[in-house]
Chains A and B, each alone.
Chain A
Amino acid sequence: MQPNTNLSETFALSSRELETLVAEALRCGGNWCDLYFENTTISNLMLRDGQVSSGGHHLDYGCGIRVLSGEKTGYAYSESTDMPSLLKAARAAGAIAEGRSAVAPAFGRSTVCVQKQDFYPMRQSWKGCDPAGFVPGLLSIESAIKAKDSRAIKVIAMLGWSLSEVMMYNSFGELCCDLRPTGSLSVSVIYCDGRSTQTKNASRSFRQGAEFFCKENIDAVVEEVTRGVDALFEARRPKGGQMSVVMGAGASGILLHEAMGHAFEADFNRKGQSIFAGRLGEQICRKGINIVDDATLPACRGSLNWDDEGVPGQKTYMVTDGVLTSYLHDRISAGWYGVEPTGNGRRESFRYNPIPRMRATYMENGSDGSLEDLIASVNRGIYVDEFSNGEVKIGEGDFTFYVRSGFLIEGGRLTMPVKDINIIGNGPQALADIRAVASDLVVDPGKWTCGKGQSVPVSCGIPSVLIDNLTVGGE
């Protein structure tokens, strides 16, 4: 493994000291140890009521130490990286091995140990940037929105940026470092037409440096948050029930995230909890469908040069030509299944041990025509294109996601706008019920965050798809 940036000065530790910490952590007999050092700065500026009058800056610094004894985990962390504090944490984590007779190692080792490409190089580092330079851009957002739509009565815009310096060292003697920038712009607008009030949100989030806050991204958010406002005021709830759903390209990728992605995370399968446990190699949807989880998309919010266990970022095919071909692995699950880790070991911060998590999850293009073709093939159903949160029950496979906006489909045409409805289904059944996949893949550029006890940035995407038999909430 090659460090792409040397951060040993940031954390003020020598190679000898790293070796000493690992040795101390394994003193009770553990058979794997990794150290995760993190120095994160998070800053934000907020536009509200026409002025940028609040903002802040937050530091988070520390080291997490993990010891594995077989598949068992000991974890501790320290917010100070002086040796006495770290040694104390190492001993606390190493206690997992106390009283256990020798067990076989159960961690997966990657044969690919070199990350040759930086998936998110910063053209302009957030470090040392002058926040005053962002204020005019934020102010321009409100004026641009109000110029486009006089019904906009309140605008909130939040620019957030962060930079994480991460250094990982493990008991193989492997050292790697990563600089992880993120820039995010979220805009929320309240519209009022004198009779009712509606809200609309849009965001952009990329792993980029200060070049993120550019005219192109500002314009894109303004365009998105002012698009379809008329429909928002006209929208009604449809009559609910089971129906065909055309999911527009991009944000509809939440379907993959909730309905399939979580159930493919290998920890749930290793423990027998997932509805997809024991189904590797089975045809789970129609031929031609490929579903991937990808850490290698340039500047993508879900991309990673290295995962949080020091495994190089990579692209993982979970479903290949309709067949379940891989789960998403961290080192523990990879060891248990006897495969290589897939680079999905992720954590929110040094305070958490890594677990299998998604990165950028999407379906590759199909060959069933265009979005218009899909809509034309539906007699009665809905088309959906804006979402908020989703959720899944891993064992049952039941998923849900919330639709902010869409349209009723009647006789192959979009008719009445709809909003504020929930859609539910069952993961394996929904996969089997995918009737058509268009060739217009979009990875959504929004600010998606996945919660699984820990929050991590992710992305999702999908071409337009047509799914039969989903349950839609309504009057």
Chain B
Amino acid sequence: MISKQEKELALQSLELARREGAQHCRICLSKNVTDMVDTLDGEVDKITHCLDRSLSISLFVDGRFGTFSTNRLDGQELQGFIREAVAMTRLLAEDPCRKLPAPERCCREATEGTEMQTYDESYESFDAESLRTLALAAVVDRTGYQGFKVVSEEGEASASEFDTITADSNGLMCRLRETNFDYSSQVTVETPDGRKYSGYWWESTPFLGKLDISGTGREAVRRAAAQIGSAPVAGGRYNMVVSSEMGFKLVSPVLNALGGYSLQQNNSFMAESLGKQVFSGGLTVIDDCWRKGESGSRLFDSEGVASRPDDIIRDGVVKKYFINTYIAGKMGLSPTIEEPVRARVMPYPEPGLDRDAILRKVGSGIYVTGFNGGNCNSATGDFSYGIEGFRFEDGVLREPVSGMLVTGNFLELWKHFLYAGDDARTCMSKLIPTLAFAEVDFNG
């Protein structure tokens, strides 16, 4: 964790910046320690120890603004760095919209850094040998498979501690301390005809005691084997169900388009949508930012502005743009938090639905378990993604599908939204459950 000495040095940099001529300044000191053990085919393949420290400094000098960072935190080095940073900031054009957030908008509760309860005290006694034991315990039993063999199995166990302090010259002082324990497994299987299929699965939690990796490797194998024999089906218009692990691909572009930078640059397909019903009435997305004990929950954003649970989209109506202090000045809008902390798609039409229930409700179509590349045009919302998954009929998965593309426009796609499950994985930064849509174009 950040030592008292490191914290003092960071705070001194605020004073240093002021002495060098900055009227205002914000600093963010981050310290991250990560240990990883990688396995390959049941043996330890790599051990890695990482320790990162970084100091980011945002300077407001004579109406000008610059951002700087360094990992050289020696006192004299830092003084020279800040002097040069102030000089470089003075080269830039004045921009009256560059300001620190008003103190009353800033977070005052994040004093210890552990308020979101995402710090596991047992991290401090978790040593490299324990991590190695954990990694080796998760190795897959390769025997007993019919119709394929496992040709490669990679696992990675990691334990990390993240500590950050954000402070500014208006008196802001926020801290966040988190731990994380992860295990991931990637498996390649081969069929007798030489075809290869890969599968991936992972678990992640702030608490060592909650990390259950007993089924991770098996799930990776299951996912690889499920794709055996996959092929395109006839192109056309299908219902589409998207797995809870992959739904973020369809939600993130919408959230990005609600962001101030895109809106201010006229590069958003969500322009002039605030307060309007632009999606299916079944769609509700909230910022569920204060979920204690889950990674990604935050009391403040990178400016130190306090987060709060809030509607983003309610019953298909856009309720919020994400406008930081700078963009608020540029666009003449009221500032908000700069981006959603933990976007959550709410269950629809009722709580409690899982994947299988949604497949039954939809009946037939294509169930997407993976997106392969693709992109979205941020100005128009047009998208095209490669997909893999399964055709389903009568609510039951049939043959595996690959080599197909899904193409459309996000405004149209979400108008055709049908259902949202209640099965989001809490280890992911966005809480996106199984999603279902009608009338989606597939090419194969």
List the interface of chain A (C-beta within 8 A of B): 43, 45, 48-49, 51-62, 71-79, 89, 92-93, 95-96, 131-132, 135, 153-154, 156, 188, 190, 192, 196-199, 237, 240-241, 271-273, 275, 351, 353, 388-391, 393-396, 398-402, 419-422, 424, 426, 471-475
Q: Are A237 and B382 in contact (CB under 8 A)?
A: yes
Residues B196 and A402 in contact, CB atoms below 8 Å apart: no
A-chain residues with CB within 8 Å of residue B98 when the two chains form the complex = 53
Contact status B372-A79, CB under 8 Å: no
Residues of chain B touching chain A, judged by Cβ–Cβ distance below 8 Å, are 40-41, 43-53, 64-72, 81, 84-85, 88-89, 91-95, 98, 128, 151-152, 154, 188, 190, 195-198, 227, 232, 235, 265-267, 330, 372-375, 377-380, 382-386, 402-407, 441, 443-444
Among A45, A240, A420, point to the contact of B377 (Cβ < 8 A).
A420
Contacts of B380 in A (CB 8 A): 196-198, 420
- B406: chain A residues at CB < 8 Å are 473
Complex interface: chain B residues within 8 A of A398 (CB) = 372, 386, 402-403
Do A273 and B373 form a contact, CB below 8 Å, given A54-B65, A59-B81, A79-B52?
A: no
13 A-B pairs with CB atoms under 8 Å apart are A55-B67, A95-B128, A190-B265, A190-B267, A199-B378, A271-B40, A275-B196, A388-B375, A391-B372, A394-B198, A396-B196, A398-B403, A422-B384
* Docked CA distance A144–B326 (Å): 27
Task: Let me know if A471 and B404 touch, CB within 8 A.
Answer: yes
CB A459 to nearest CB in B, in angstroms, measures 20
Q: How far is the CA of A389 from the CA of B384 in the complex (A)?
A: 12
Residues in A with CB closer than 8 Å to B68 are 56-58
Distance, CA A71 to CA B43, complexed state (A): 11
Task: Tell me the total A-B contact number using a CB cutoff of 8 A.
Answer: 218
Q: Contact: A72 with B384, CB < 8 Å? A: no
Nearest chain A residue, comparing its CB with the CB of B98: A53
Q: How far is the CB of A384 from chain B (nearest CB, A)?
A: 13
- Provide the residues of chain A in CB contact with B64, threshold 8 Å: 53
Nearest-neighbour CB distance to chain A for B26, whole angstroms, equals 13
Residues of B within 8 A of A71 (CB): 45
Among B64, B72, B374, the one with the most A-chain Cβ atoms within 10 Å of its Cβ is B374
Given A57-B88, A199-B377, A398-B402, check contact A421 B384 (CB 8 Å). yes
Whether the Cβ atoms of A79 and B373 lie closer than 8 Å is no
- Rounded to whole angstroms, the CA-CA distance of A93 and B48 in the bound complex is 7
Q: List B contacts of A131 (CB < 8 A).
A: 88, 91
Assembled-state Cα–Cα distance A243/B405 (Å): 14
Apart from A55-B67, A424-B405, list 9 A-B contacts with CB within 8 A.
Answer: A51-B93, A54-B66, A58-B70, A153-B266, A240-B235, A389-B375, A398-B386, A421-B407, A473-B405
- Residue of chain A at shortest CB distance from B374: A422
Q: Is the CB of A75 within 8 A of B46?
A: yes
A54 adjacent to B46 (CB under 8 Å): no
Q: Give Cα A62–Cα B72 distance, bound, in whole angstroms.
A: 9
Q: Give the most central of B50, B385, B386: most A CB within 10 Å.
A: B386
Out of B43, B71, B373, which one reaches A400, CB within 8 Å? B373
Query: Which 5 residue pairs are nearest across A and B when measured between Cβ atoms?
Result: A400-B373, A240-B443, A391-B373, A473-B405, A422-B384
Residue on A nearest B56 in the bound complex, by CB:
A58
Query: Does B46 contact A73, Cβ atoms closer than 8 Å?
Result: yes
A396 to B406, CA, bound (A): 19
Residue of B49, B128, B373, B405 most packed against chain A (CB within 10 A): B373
Docked Cα-Cα span, A393 to B230, in Å, equals 14
Q: Across the interface, do A154 and B266 meet the contact criterion of CB distance under 8 Å?
A: yes
Within 8 Å CB of A96, what residues of B?
Answer: 44, 46-47
Q: Please, how many angstroms separate the alpha-carbon atoms of A163 and B354 in the complex?
A: 52
Contact of A395 among B45, B196, B384 (CB under 8 A): B196
Kindly list chain B residues whose C-beta atoms are within 8 Å of the C-beta of A426.
403
Task: Select one of A56, A92, A396, A402 contacting B373, CB under 8 A.
Answer: A402
Interface centre among A61, A394, A424, A426 (most CB of B within 10 A): A424
Q: Nearest-CB distance from B91 to chain A (Å)?
A: 5
- How far is the CB of A279 from the nearest CB of chain B, in Å? 10
Q: Are B384's CB and A402's CB within 8 A?
A: yes
- The residue from B40, B71, B91 contacting A59, defined by CB atoms under 8 A apart: B71
Within 8 Å by CB of B92, from A53, A395, A422, lies A53
Contact across chains for B85 and A53 when beta carbons are under 8 A apart: no
Which residue of B40, B85, B379, B385 contacts A422 across the interface (Cβ within 8 Å)? B385
Chain B residue at minimum C-beta to C-beta distance from A192: B266
Please name all residues of chain A whose beta carbon is closer than 8 Å to the beta carbon of B49 when the two chains form the complex: 75-77, 89, 92-93
CA distance A144 to B44 in the complex (A): 57
Residue on A nearest B36 in the bound complex, by CB:
A75
Are B373 and A473 within 8 A (Cβ)?
Answer: no
Contact of A190 (CB < 8 Å), options: B85, B188, B379: B379
Chain A minimum-CB-distance residue to B326: A54
User: Are A351 and B93 in contact, CB atoms less than 8 angstroms apart?
Assistant: no
Q: Contact between A61 and B47 (Cβ–Cβ < 8 Å)?
A: no
B267 adjacent to A199 (CB under 8 Å) = yes
Q: How far is the CA of A130 from the CA of B85 in the complex (A)?
A: 13
> For residue A394, which residues in chain B have a CB less than 8 angstroms away from its CB?
198
Measured between beta carbons, the chain B residues less than 8 angstroms from A273 are 151-152, 188, 196, 198
Q: A79 contacts B71, CB within 8 Å?
A: yes
* Residues of chain A contacted by B40 (CB below 8 angstroms): 271
- A420–B379 Cα distance when bound, in Å, is 11
Partner of B372, one of A52, A77, A92, A393: A393
Partner of A53, one of B93, B384, B402: B93
Task: Assess whether B386 is in contact with A272, with CB atoms less than 8 Å apart.
Answer: no
A240 engages B372 (CB within 8 Å): no
Which residue, of B40, B49, B379, has the highest number of chain A Cβ atoms within 10 A?
B49
Question: Which partner residue on chain A sits nearest B382 by CB separation?
Answer: A420
Cα(A422)–Cα(B386), bound, Å: 7
Nearest CB on B from A132, distance (A): 5
Residues of A within 8 A of B47 (CB): 73-75, 93, 95-96
- B67 adjacent to A271 (CB under 8 Å): no
Contact partners of A45 in chain B: CB under 8 A: 92
CB closest residue in chain B, given A51:
B93
Which residue in chain B gives the minimum CB-CB distance to A48?
A: B265
Which B residues touch A188, using CB under 8 A?
267
Nearest to B41 among chain A residues (CB) is A271
Other-chain residue from B46, B70, B197 in contact with A396 (beta carbon distance below 8 A): B197
Closest chain B residue to A76, Cβ basis: B49
A60 and B198 in contact, given A53-B94, A422-B386 (Cβ under 8 angstroms):
no
* A392–chain B nearest beta-carbon distance, Å: 8
Least CB distance from B414 to A in Å reads 18
Residues of B contacting A473 in the complex (Cβ-Cβ under 8 angstroms): 384, 405-407, 443
Is B379 in contact with A402, judged by CB distance below 8 angstroms? no
- By a CB distance below 8 angstroms, the chain B residues around A156 are 265
